[in-house]
Amino acid sequence: MTIALTRPSVVPIRWGIVGTGDIAERVMAPAMRQASGARLVAVAGRAIVATRAFAERHGAQRAYDRLEDLLMDPEVDAVYVASPVDRHCSDVLAAIAAGRDVLCEKPLALTLDEAERMVAAAERAGVRLGTCFYQRYNARHRWIRDALADGRIGRPAAARMSFSGRSPDRPGAWRQDPTRAGGGSFTDSAVHCLDLLRFLVGEIREVAAFTDTLGASYAVEDTASALLRLDGGVQAVVTAHWSTEDSSAARTSVLEIGGTDGTIVSWPLHDKFSRGTLLIATVTGEEEVHVPERSTHIELLDDFAGARAGGRPFPIDGADGLAAQRVLAAVYESARTGRVVRP
């Protein structure tokens, strides 16, 4: 089976990027050059020479070494926040105060309190606050959502997600610093699984979790597992390990949903172009589904532009980021106390 995909024409948003790290460099800035609904006009970073080089590489017209200067730029319609997590709250609040729509990288904030403040500020100001959960734009995942809604595998009962990859000690890496990242492998990687479960199945109601550091010496966890109970009693196991080495995405970056009449399996979760394998197995046999290869981030940017042009909220809003933040907090509380926790 092959699924076709079309893209609507949208009015482009003039974007400013805050933070010129890996995700902005490799994924979002290139997507802004290709999306019909986006145009990168300005970049802000701490080191002006590197920021100017980033702007030149990605076609931005201006580079700033202060967020305040970018927010004074009259051509910036919206701001994409790709700074380290400990700066999300201050960067987002500044952009909101300047009246800009905001798209923030995951996780939304360092703490639950910060996330709540960010969402409340956006609501008061009447601006869009989006969370960059790009997994929702993977064509494989959208097919899975429709298949579940159509009852293709009967009643969903269990899910399994793994989002893992070896991450040894790297001195100075902010993702390995709890004061800058908030957490380790679960915060950085499994947060995508939390949002994807909410998108595909329903709300997460109970959490039991373990977090440990087994393969490194940094202060955040590198090995994490959570057992979740979702709407309707669906049970899900989510693992996120930086402590294990394995080159097979079918084992390290996989989604499996089992129901009373069949099972859906898809990998790799992390692919940003919808590439990968999607299988559905029922009593009638096993079928591979082929979906279009398309940048998840281009789809996200075009959807943001469509929402802005139509005067609608962005579908993955601050409330979605806040919901994931609540589950993250529950995961760490459960790991700390040994109790089942309700987010």
Domain ranges of the chain: 13-132+297-317, 136-289
With CA atoms as reference, report the closest residue to 292 among 80, 122, 142.
142
Kindly state the tokens that stand for 172: 């100075």
The fold of 13-132+297-317 is Rossmann fold (3.40.50)
Check residue 11 and give its pLDDT. 81
* Strands laid side by side in the 129-131 sheet: 62-64, 38-44, 13-18, 78-81, 101-104, 129-131
The string of pLDDT tens digits covering residues 63-87 is: 999 999 999 999 999 999 999 999 9
Q: What is the pLDDT of residues 178-219, one digit of tens each?
A: 999 999 999 999 999 999 999 999 999 999 999 999 999 999
User: In whole angstroms, how large is the CA radius of gyration of the chain?
Assistant: 20
What's the confidence (pLDDT) of residue 5?
Answer: 47
Class of domain 136-289: alpha beta
Report helix angle 191-200 to 318-337, nearest 10: 120
Angle between helices 318-337 and 112-125 (to 10 degrees): 170
Please give the average pLDDT of every successive group of 10 residues along the chain, which has 343 residues: 53 96 97 97 97 98 97 98 98 98 98 98 98 98 98 98 96 96 98 98 98 98 98 98 95 97 97 97 96 96 97 96 98 98 98
* Fold agreement between 13-132+297-317 and 136-289: no
What local confidence, expressed as pLDDT, does residue 8 receive? 52
With the CA atoms of 70, 86, 80 and 317 taken in that order, what torsion angle do they form, in degrees rounded to the nearest 10? -130
Q: Helices (H) and strands (E) in the chain — how many of each?
A: 13, 14
pTM for this predicted structure? 0.95
Please report the pLDDT score of residue 1 as a whole number.
Answer: 56
* Sign of the CA dihedral running 327, 328, 329, 334: positive
